C-alpha cells in the first residue's frame, strides 16, 4: 500500500461523501440544542459502528455528548487525533427547509465549513485508509459538542475529555476551515464578562435632582472598554446590553456583556485587572457595579512542539505531491488553543475551504473535501513513530 493508493481511494469515495456532507449539515445542531448535537454524533456513531471501529461517548447533561471514534485501537503506536465540533451558531430554521443546498461548485448551509465539513473530510480519510488496509496506527476522531461557546455549557468538561483522550497523540489535527497553503499556529484567546450596574429609579422629570441612571453609568464603562481595538493585541466589543423599565423612568438597573480577544497570558492578566478597575470606577453618583467572567478560552500560543509538527507535515506533503503549509495567526478561537496549552502537538485549520462563517451565507467549496481528506490521510499514513 502506498499513499497514492489512499488518494485514489479518496477520489473514488468522494461523491458518496458529498452526500454525507449534505446529510449531516441538514441535521441542525445549535450549541444549546442538545438533541440536535447528539443527532449529529449518532450519525457518525452509526457509520463508525458499521466499520467495527471503537466508540466512546462522554455523556453530558446539558451540552451534546462528546464522541470519540477510534480506528485500530488495538495497535501500540501513538495515535493521530482528528477533531472537529458538531455544534453550529444559528437557531434551527434560519436557513430554511431543507437547511442545505448545493450546486456544481459549492455547498451552502449551517456548519458546511465550520466545522462539519472538516469532520466529514476526516471520516473520509479514515474510511479510505481503512479500505486500503491501513492498520498500523490508532486514529481518533473526536467530535466536540460545545466549541462555539468555548465549552461554557459543559463547564469545560468536553474539551478536558478531548485533551485527555488525545494526550499521547503524535499529532492533533483540528478541522476548522482551511485557507490555501496555511495552517494555524497562533490564535487569540477569548474572555467574556458580564457587568451588572445598579442605580436608583425615579421619575424621569427629576433626573437632575433624584435617581441614578444605571444606563448612563453603563455607557461610560462601555465607552472605556470599546476603546480597546489593537488588532494584534487586545480588543473589546460590547455585544449585549439590557436595562431600564420605561422611557419615562430613570433606569435602576443595566447589564451588559463584553467580549475580549487577547494574544497571550500576560494580556489576559492585564484584562482581569482592567475589568475590575472599570467596574469599581463611578461616573454617575449613586451607581454601583459588579462584574463576573462568563467564559474563557486560552490563547493558542506558538510552541516548539507545534512548529516541529509543521516541519514534519511539510516534509510529508513535499514527498507526496501536496502543497506545503505556512503557519499563520488567526483572531478567532478554537479547541486548538486548549489542546496546545495541554502540551499536545497541534496544527489547526485543516478542514475544508469556504467562507461566510457564522453567517447565513456560509458555504464551502465541494472540491476541498477530497483535498482535505488527502492532507489528513497523508499525515496519518506517513507521520512515523513517536
Length of the chain equals 386
The reply to whether 214 and 336 lie within a common domain is no
pLDDT for position 386: 40
Do 43 and 151 reside in the same domain of the chain? yes
Instruction: Assess whether 321 and 345 both reside in one domain.
Output: yes
Q: How many domains does the chain have?
A: 2
Nearest CA to 179 out of 222, 131, 118, 240 is that of: 118
pLDDT string in tens for the chain (386-residue length): 789 999 999 999 999 999 999 999 999 999 999 999 999 999 999 999 999 999 999 999 999 999 999 999 999 999 999 999 999 999 999 999 999 999 999 999 999 999 999 999 999 999 999 999 999 999 999 999 999 999 999 999 999 999 999 999 999 999 999 999 999 999 999 999 999 999 999 999 988 789 999 999 999 999 999 999 999 999 999 999 999 999 999 999 999 999 999 999 999 999 999 999 999 999 999 999 999 999 999 999 999 999 999 999 999 999 999 999 999 999 888 999 999 999 999 999 999 999 999 999 999 999 999 999 999 999 999 997 44
- All three cell numbers of 379, joined, read 499525515
pLDDT (0 to 100) of residue 1: 77
Q: What is the CATH number of the domain that holds 232?
A: 3.30.70.360
Q: What per-residue confidence (pLDDT) applies to 209?
A: 85
Does 261 lie in the same domain as 176?
Answer: no
Whether the CB-CB separation of 158 and 63 falls below 8 Å is answered with yes
Q: What cell numbers appear for 375 in the block?
A: 492532507
- The CATH code of the domain that includes 80 is 3.40.630.10
Residue that finishes a domain, picked among 280, 297, 314: 297
Are residues 176 and 41 both part of a single domain?
Answer: yes
Return the C-alpha cell found at 65. 455528548
Q: Domain span at residue 331?
A: 3-187+300-382
Q: Are 1 and 129 in contact (CB under 8 A)?
A: no
Count other C-beta atoms under 10 Å from residue 26's C-beta. 16
- 232 and 344 housed in the same domain: no
Amino acid at each position: 500500500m502506498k499513499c497514492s493508493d489512499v488518494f485514489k481511494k479518496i477520489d473514488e469515495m468522494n461523491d458518496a461523501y458529498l452526500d454525507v456532507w449534505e446529510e449531516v449539515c441538514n441535521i441542525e445542531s445549535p450549541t444549546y440544542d442538545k438533541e440536535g448535537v447528539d443527532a449529529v454524533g449518532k450519525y457518525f456513531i452509526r457509520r463508525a459502528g458499521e466499520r467495527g471501529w471503537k466508540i466512546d461517548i462522554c455523556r453530558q447533561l446539558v451540552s451534546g455528548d462528546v464522541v470519540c471514534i477510534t480506528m485500530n485501537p488495538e495497535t501500540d503506536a501513538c495515535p493521530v487525533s482528528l477533531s472537529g465540533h458538531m455544534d453550529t451558531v444559528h437557531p434551527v430554521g434560519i436557513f430554511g427547509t431543507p437547511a442545505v443546498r448545493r450546486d456544481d461548485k459549492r455547498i451552502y448551509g449551517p456548519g458546511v465549513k465550520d466545522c462539519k465539513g472538516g469532520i466529514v473530510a476526516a471520516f473520509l480519510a479514515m474510511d479510505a485508509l481503512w479500505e486500503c488496509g491501513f492498520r498500523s496506527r490508532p486514529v481518533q476522531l473526536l467530535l466536540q459538542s460545545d466549541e462555539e461557546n468555548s465549552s461554557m455549557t459543559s463547564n469545560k468538561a468536553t474539551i478536558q475529555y478531548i485533551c485527555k483522550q488525545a494526550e499521547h497523540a503524535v499529532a492533533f489535527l483540528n478541522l476548522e476551515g482551511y485557507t490555501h497553503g496555511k495552517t494555524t499556529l497562533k490564535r487569540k484567546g477569548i474572555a467574556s464578562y458580564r457587568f451588572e450596574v445598579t442605580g436608583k429609579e425615579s421619575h424621569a422629570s427629576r433626573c437632575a435632582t433624584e435617581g441614578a441612571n444605571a444606563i448612563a453609568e453603563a455607557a461610560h464603562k462601555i465607552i472605556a472598554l470599546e476603546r480597546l481595538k489593537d488588532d494584534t493585541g487586545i480588543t473589546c466589543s460590547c455585544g449585549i446590553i439590557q436595562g431600564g423599565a420605561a422611557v419615562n423612568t430613570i433606569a435602576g438597573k443595566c447589564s451588559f456583556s463584553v467580549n475580549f480577544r487577547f494574544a497571550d497570558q500576560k494580556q489576559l492578566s492585564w484584562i482581569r485587572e482592567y475589568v475590575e478597575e472599570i467596574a469599581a470606577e463611578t461616573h454617575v453618583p449613586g451607581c454601583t457595579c459588579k462584574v463576573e467572567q462568563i467564559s474563557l478560552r486560552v490563547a493558542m500560543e506558538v510552541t516548539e512542539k507545534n512548529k516541529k509538527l509543521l516541519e514534519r507535515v511539510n516534509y510529508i506533503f513535499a514527498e507526496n505531491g501536496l502543497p506545503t503549509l505556512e503557519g499563520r495567526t488567526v483572531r478567532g478561537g478554537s479547541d486548538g488553543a486548549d489542546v496546545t496549552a495541554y502540551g499536545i502537538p497541534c496544527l489547526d485549520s485543516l478542514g475544508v475551504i469556504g467562507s461566510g462563517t457564522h453567517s447565513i451565507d456560509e458555504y464551502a467549496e465541494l472540491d476541498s473535501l477530497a483535498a482535505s481528506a488527502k492532507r489528513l490521510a497523508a499525515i496519518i499514513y506517513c507521520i512515523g513513530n513517536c
